[in-house]
């Protein structure tokens, strides 16, 4: 296939959490999983120009990029909620865009509410965590697939952010980050998982109308 299904799997998890959300699929990566910064920035700019509410970024870069930082600054100033995966190196490290202060960085947890062994962790990278082991989602050619990794915990949070926007259409990056963090299930600080594990029910209950 010309694509290997990563975007389809991410979109399926967003739809699982927020079934009424409209998804704008923007392809910045090739079938081999590679992309240039300019391709990523172009996709973000397109999303900003077309007034999306949430940008999900299920990728990570080991080097900071002024161009990427500037693009996300414009996005959050436009009221867009930005979410990114924390990466799968199993380290307390920085990767971008999750490490930016105006991005919700998402780590991965297992069914025991422990950090997945591959998930990166620690501050300032991780804002909160969400499940990322053995998730079932959509796959190309009318199939389903089992997936693992922080690429798939991030869309659960992005879907949660979409629900918050549905409750209050004035929800922006800072408000969504605050509501998701304050409603999260607390975990041991030693895990390095920020505010804890995503709790969609509590987040929607405490959303400011």
Tens of pLDDT along 68-127? 999 999 999 999 999 999 999 999 999 999 999 999 999 999 999 999 999 999 999 999
The per-residue pLDDT for range 137-193, each reduced to its tens digit, is: 999 989 999 999 999 999 999 999 999 999 999 999 999 999 999 999 999 999 999
- Looking at residue 2, what is its pLDDT? 61
* 127 contacts: CB under 8 Å, gap ≥ 6: 104, 105, 106, 177, 180, 181, 194, 195
pTM above 0.85, yes or no: yes
Q: What b/e string do you get for 61-79 counting C-beta neighbours within 10 Å, with b at 16 or more?
A: beeebeebbebbeebbeeb
CB 128 within 8 A of CB 195: yes
Measure the CA–CA gap between 3 and 112, rounded to whole angstroms. Answer: 33
Return the CA Rg of the chain: 15
Contact in structure between 190 and 147 (CB atoms under 8 Å): no
Residues in the chain, total: 209
DSSP alpha helix (H) spans, the chain = 6-17, 37-49, 66-77, 150-167, 173-182, 200-206
pLDDT at site 1: 59
Residue with tokens 């915990």: 153
Instruction: For residue 137, give Cα distances in angstroms to 64, 115, 194.
Output: 31, 21, 26
**Cα dist. 161→177, 198, 205 in Å?**
9, 11, 13
Q: In sequence order, what are the residues at sequence separation of 6 or more whose Cβ sits closer than 8 angstroms to the Cβ of residue 131?
A: 108, 109, 110, 111, 153, 156, 197, 198
Q: Is 147 helix (H, G, I), strand (E, B) or coil?
A: strand
């Amino acid at each position: 296939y010309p694509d290997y299904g990563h975007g389809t799997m991410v979109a399926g998890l967003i739809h699982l959490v927020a079934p009424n959300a409209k998804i704008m699929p923007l392809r910045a990566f090739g079938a081999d999983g590679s992309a240039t910064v300019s391709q990523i920035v172009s996709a973000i700019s397109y999303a900003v120009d077309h007034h999306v509410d949430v940008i999900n970024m299920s990728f990570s870069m080991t080097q900071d990029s002024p161009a990427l930082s500037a693009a996300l600054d414009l996005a959050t100033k436009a009221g867009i909620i930005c979410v990114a995966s924390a990466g799968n190196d199993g380290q307390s490290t920085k990767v971008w865009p999750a490490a930016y202060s105006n991005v919700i960085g998402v780590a991965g947890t297992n069914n025991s509410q422990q950090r997945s062994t591959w998930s990166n962790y620690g501050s300032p990278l991780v804002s909160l965590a969400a499940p990322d082991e053995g998730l079932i989602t959509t796959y190309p050619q009318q199939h389903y697939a089992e997936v693992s990794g922080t690429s798939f915990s991030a869309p659960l949070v992005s879907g949660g952010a979409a629900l918050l926007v549905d409750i209050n259409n004035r929800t922006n990056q800072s408000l969504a980050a605050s509501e998701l963090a304050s409603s999260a299930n607390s975990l041991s600080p030693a895990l390095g998982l920020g505010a804890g594990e995503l709790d969609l029910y509590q987040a929607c209950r405490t959303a400011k109308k």
